[in-house]
Structure 1
Amino acid sequence: MSDGSEEEEEQGMNLGEYEGERNERDERHGHGKATLPNGDTYVGEYENGKRHGSGLYRFKNGARYEGQYQKNKKHGKGVFIYPDGSRYEGSWIEDQRSGTGKYMYVNGDYYEGEWHQHQRHGRGTYFFRETGSKYVGMWKEGKMDGYGELVHANHKYVGLWRKGYMDGKGKYVFDVGCQQHGEYQAVEQAADDKGEEEEEAAIIVPKWKAGAITKITEDAPPPMTSADPTGAMEQPDAEAAGDEEGDGELRL
């Protein structure tokens, strides 16, 4: 777990206490401050009764969002700081992390790149603080998927990934001036620590099939086009507090 949960903001038109500007229909309009029934607060711009423009929303659990709104939803550029101190800085669409942004995890890792519907999706870089390694390449639905490079201190792996694992042809490139070609193949392996009454399960483990060792050559990578988004998810208009999925640290 990384950033904890992200609380949904109160969505009602005229909930709680309000101090600020109003329009001719007595709706919140312009700049104002609201204290909501659940203990959250908002200071910023309104339009026709809804948060619209720039504002700061503070959750009672310590989380906060500062950035742009459109019709009560986080939309545009903004910064979300989670209760555990992890944070996201970047683009939002319809209350979701979408577009480009940087997510800094509580363990010191960070991801910078493209997002779609709260998930790492498109091209981006994930940096592992503990090892100093980084993955640079394509992502799909939160996992490494497509062409990428896993860069370590004195060597790197260049090749294809599928659903978070190395899959297919690739090569290891070493600082000593050579590279080893090969291929990762998916192999089923029995899961450990299963009770007698549990059905035996299998997990997929990528196994490296080594090939020729040659001098280093710079091969042209496949086109790194962004992963296709699957369309925006509808968001509820209800103004009840609830959990919104955050993003977890990556493990190799």
Structure 2
Amino acid sequence: MKANGLKISDMALGMNCTLMVIYIMGNMYEGKQKEKEHTFGVMEKPMKVNGFMGESMDIYVGQWRNGETSGYGVYTANSGQKYEGTWKHSCKHGKGTETFPNGDVYVGNYKGGYPQGQGKMMHKDGSIYEGNFDRGVKLGKGRWYKTVKKDDYIQKKKIKIDYVYIGDFQNNKKNGYGVFTWGQISTYEGQFSNDHRHGFGVCQWYDGSKYEGEWRQGVQYGKGKLTMKDGTVKQGIFQNNTLMHEIKSEEDTLKDSLQKSINRFLTLRSDFSIAKTLKRSALSSQRKKRREDKFNMSSNRDTILNIKSVQESDYKRMKSEQSSPQLKERFRKNRKSQSLLSNPDSSYRLN
């Protein structure tokens, strides 16, 4: 039969009058099958997809309605692009799977010719995105992940590291708030911009060290606090992952003030302890001196008493001796001798 003056081939399939049409010269088929709600056909020609003219020798195999691709069909472009899924008004619409010329594959919902709503994009580099799409771009909440093999110089073999991001997307990039993990190496939670850590965020590494603060284009930049694995805290202004100017926080200032007070207290307590020790030593010396003085006084008193006792004893003895006749006679002779010695003439006369 002919359509628009050109010969085409047609073939009726079954009792339902489903028609397969091979378009050879790119002409639309018009005939009695036009009234049918849906027909199945094969078109090999430049054709419009999503409102744009495709390349030559594009192939569509699928359902039609009122001269438009509608229902289920498979479209293969000469560029290598392929879509398999449902159509509406010659646009991809509903559920579908699309392979792109660069090797990326999309599986999910379509609307008006574009990925719309929930879908999954598998990129040629091995990364996968699962989440929301808006007119073909990643937008809203989503999950991005990729597994990479890297050399482990300790184990001397390649190990797998899973990179995972869960958070906000905009214009196919990580934008907004999200959480990014590098296997068991580190975790970042905070703000992103154009696939970079940008804004405020917290990054924690496998060794326990942590940075909390501002980021710019993926590096520590601005005010931040770095806690080392040994517990040491450094905070201040960072640039390119380096602390440029350290600033003490109010907490640190309070700690310093408290420590100074404690040191003063310890010094005062030490001084007080020394003074107390000196006082005890002085009191001990005083007590010792009093004991010595008391002992000396007691000894002197005993000596005096002993001397007095001896003197009294001698006096009594002498007095007793003087009262005896023998002592009296001796005393008389002594007096006579003393008189003669003092007066020789007197002695002569007596003789």
Aligning the two structures, in what range does the TM-score lie when normalised by the shorter sequence? 0.5 to 0.7
DSSP 3-state at the match of 2:162? coil
8 Å contact kept, 1:28–1:49: no
1:230 match? none
8 Å contact kept, 1:183–1:210: yes
Q: What do residues 205-248 of structure 1 show as CA deviations (whole Å, max 9, x unaligned)?
A: 74345415399xxxxxxxxxxxxxxxxxxxxxxxxxxxxxxxxx
1:95-110 to 2 correspondence within 5 Å?
A: 95-110=113-128
DSSP 3-state at the match of 1:39? coil
CA distance in 2, matches of 1:49, 1:28: 10
2:163 match? 133
Q: Does 1:56 align with 2:74?
A: yes
Q: Does 1:23 align with 2:54?
A: no
- Matched AA of 2:117: G
8 Å contact kept, 1:40–1:60: yes
8 Å contact kept, 1:19–1:32: no
Give, in angstroms, the shift of residue 132 of structure 1. 2.7
8 Å contact kept, 1:21–1:30: no
CA distance in 1, matches of 2:32, 2:193: 53
Q: Does 1:119 align with 2:133?
A: no
1:207 match? 220
Q: What do residues 160-214 of structure 1 show as CA deviations (whole Å, max 9, x unaligned)?
A: 1133332222111344556432221x4xxxxxxxxxxxxxxxxx67434541539
8 Å contact kept, 2:190–2:197: yes
1:173 match? 204
Q: Does 1:143 align with 2:173?
A: yes
Change (3 A) 1:212 1:85: closer
More strand by share: 1
1:82 match? 100
8 Å contact kept, 1:55–1:68: yes
Give, in angstroms, the shift of residue 30 of structure 1. 2.0
Give, in angstroms, the shift of residue 74 of structure 1. 0.6
CA distance in 2, matches of 1:155, 1:103: 25
RMSD of equivalent CA atoms: 3.0
Structure 1-normalised TM-score?
Answer: 0.63
Change (3 A) 1:18 1:36: farther
CA distance in 2, matches of 1:59, 1:157: 42
DSSP 3-state at the match of 1:23? helix
- Matched AA of 2:225: G
* Structure with more contact order per residue of length (Cα contacts < 8 Å, sep ≥ 6): 1
CA distance in 1, matches of 2:226, 2:195: 25
2:61 match? 43
Change (3 A) 1:134 1:18: farther
Gap regions ≥5 residues in structure 1: 1-13, 187-203, 216-252
Change (3 A) 1:84 1:139: closer
8 Å contact kept, 1:54–1:67: yes
1:34 match? 43
Structure 2-normalised TM-score?
Answer: 0.46
CA distance in 1, matches of 2:201, 2:220: 12
Gap regions ≥5 residues in structure 2: 1-24, 47-55, 149-160, 230-351
CA distance in 2, matches of 1:46, 1:122: 34
1:91 match? 109
Change (3 A) 1:69 1:102: same
CA distance in 1, matches of 2:27, 2:82: 18
Identity of aligned residues (%): 30
Change (3 A) 1:20 1:180: farther
Number of equivalenced pairs: 182
CA distance in 1, matches of 2:143, 2:43: 38
CA distance in 2, matches of 1:75, 1:21: 27
CA distance in 1, matches of 2:80, 2:72: 20
CA distance in 1, matches of 2:144, 2:27: 41
- Matched AA of 1:45: Q
2:214 match? 183
Q: What do residues 31-60 of structure 1 show as CA deviations (whole Å, max 9, x unaligned)?
A: 222121421111111111111111101112
